[in-house]
Amino acid sequence: MNIYVGNLSFSATDADLRDAFSQYGEVTRASIVIDRDTNRSRGFGFVEMTSPEDGRSAIAALNGSSLGGRNITCNEARE
């Protein structure tokens, strides 16, 4: 399951995302989208989890929670 994570702190790292979501199941990929011109975070990223059930649990638990001092938004990524 691919999960969109928005409103991330600009100082958040891929490892921060992996750590937060790995509490709910196996994370196969966690990446923050980087602006290619400024080489800074664009404030959102994606987490891929092996199990859809784990992904739904993570979304339910983490949506609106604080990560790096900001309340993040989580939902299933669209194609």
Which whole-number Å values give the CA distances from 13 to 39, 48, 52, 53, 56, in the listed order?
A: 13, 15, 23, 25, 22
Triad 63, 37, 41: Cα angle to 5°:
20
What is the pTM assigned to this prediction?
A: 0.93
Output the tens digit of pLDDT for each of the chain's 79 residues. Answer: 999 999 999 999 999 999 999 999 999 999 999 999 999 999 999 999 999 999 999 999 999 999 989 999 999 999 8
